[in-house]
Amino acid sequence: MERITRAQARIIALGQRWHGGRFGRIDPIALDIALTVFSALVSAWAVVYDNKGWPWWVYLLAVSNSLALPWRRSHPGSVYLLTGLPALVLSYVAHSATPQVSISAVLAMYSLADRGRDWQRWPLLVVTVAANIIGTHSPNGMLFSLIMSIGSFVFGALVRDWRALARSEAERAHQLGLQTASEAARAVAEERARIAREMHDILAHAVSLMVIQAEAGPLMVHRDPERAIRTFDTIADSGRDAMVQLRRVLGVLKEEGAGPELAPQPRLAELPAVVERVRQSGIQVELELAAPERPVPADVEAAAYRIVQEALTNVVKHSGADRAVIRVAQVARTLEIEVSDNGNGAAAGERTGRGGSADGWSGGRGLLGIRERAAACGGSATAGPGPAGRGFLVSAELPLGGAVR
């Protein structure tokens, strides 16, 4: 199979050099007219060389078998008949004046094999072989005629196969190009969506905390200066943390050939720091982070971190809650995540875009990002009212097998 493939590649390369080189730039019509003139001259010269004083109509008969050659590409079957019949008559009435090598017969047979239809090619080949056997006067002449006829047909058939192979390869290359372009566009879209999720999660969380704490800071300056100082310190810490995470994303974008797997990913061990910053905004947050029983893949760990971060961002921005509970634990081969609060629940979601539909996903970019992150790991996520309709609950299940490719 490999040898066949290599042979096909050589044939294609040869054809490309033929069509792209000096011969490929020749006008086909001019070439066929030149071949017609050359074939007619050879036929006329054969009559003259026979030196038997043939009448004018023999010369006309010898030349007429070449006159149809300019149409050999568009009407190969008809041209073959218009070429073969005068040659057959000439061979019968003036056999010695027939050219040893009939240029018109070779070109007609070649064109028939190359461009003719199957119902034309094979019957005419059989008729030609029979005519060569019957119409020659010696075994040597018969053998020579058969070699010329069958050889021309075989060469034309090879060129026909090459044309079909070249068309097939061109179509395959075209389809491959379309597929590659489609995959590239899909990869760009997926990468843009990934970057959008990262930027949203980083900025939305940090800015939400900073805004809430900055609004509360001036009220505490006179009442509790020390707490106000801690609040502003927390704002600065949130800003610095956001800058660090932004540098992670932007650093990968600037690095040539870097992929998302090269970016330092957040870990579950960093969740206590996130929780502490949320606590300093005035919300009581309880974190239940069980020690993993088995190693957690980096992509699953990063997705879990971002899911918790985005759920807390929604608690801070939309819930009106003063208490939230986070539970992250391994159950069998799944990492389960739950973030619940005691806020306004679905009613607030309908007003703020927190997830007003029945499945909780008609809201803003953040909740959709949670579902996308879970799906990227082969898991699932839900969002909606908490138990008994109180508060809001975001839950996710991430299989520990890693991301789906």
Helix, strand, coil % in the chain, rounded to nearest 5? 70, 10, 20
pTM attached to this predicted model: 0.46
Domains in the chain: how many in total? Answer: 2
* Backbone φ, ψ for residue 336 (5° rounding): -100, 135
Looking at the domain assignment, is residue 147 inside a domain? no
* Residue 144, in any domain of the structure: no
End of a domain among 100, 117, 135?
135
Q: Would 237 be classed as within a structural domain?
A: no
- Average pLDDT score over the chain: 75
Report yes or no: 377 and 300 within 8 Å, Cβ to Cβ: yes
What pLDDT digit, counting tens, does each position of 32-56 carry? 888 888 888 888 888 888 778 788 8
- pLDDT tens digit string along 284-327? 888 988 877 778 888 888 888 888 888 888 887 777 788 899 99
With beta carbons less than 8 A apart as the criterion, state whether 364 and 353 touch. Answer: yes
Last residue of a domain, one of 106, 135, 164: 135
| Listed range (85-99, 214-228, 269-283, 328-342) with the worst mean pLDDT | 214-228
- Does residue 180 form part of some domain? no
Radius of gyration of the chain (CA): 42
Q: Which helix (H) or strand (E) holds 208?
A: helix 139-223
Judge whether 230 lies within some domain.
no
Last residue of a domain, one of 83, 117, 135: 135
Residue type for position 353: G
CB-CB contact of 112 with 156 (8 Å): yes
Range of the domain at 273: 268-405
Q: What is the model's pLDDT at position 365?
A: 63
Q: What are phi and psi of 331, to 5 degrees?
A: -125, 110
| Within-domain flag for 219 | no
**Geometric angle at alpha carbon 280, from 276 and 283, rounded to 5°:** 90
- CATH number of domain containing 345: 3.30.565.10
CA gap 22, 386 in Å, rounded: 79
Work out the percent of the chain whose per-residue pLDDT is above 90: 3
From CA 76, how far away is CA 54, in angstroms rounded? 31
Q: What is the residue whose two structure tokens read 């060469």? A: 155
* 223: confidence class by pLDDT, cuts 50, 70, 90: low
Q: Is 100 exposed, middle or buried (0-12, 13-18, 19+ CB in 10 A)?
A: exposed
324 part of a folded domain: yes
- Please give the pLDDT value at position 40: 84
Does residue 381 lie within any of the structural domains?
yes
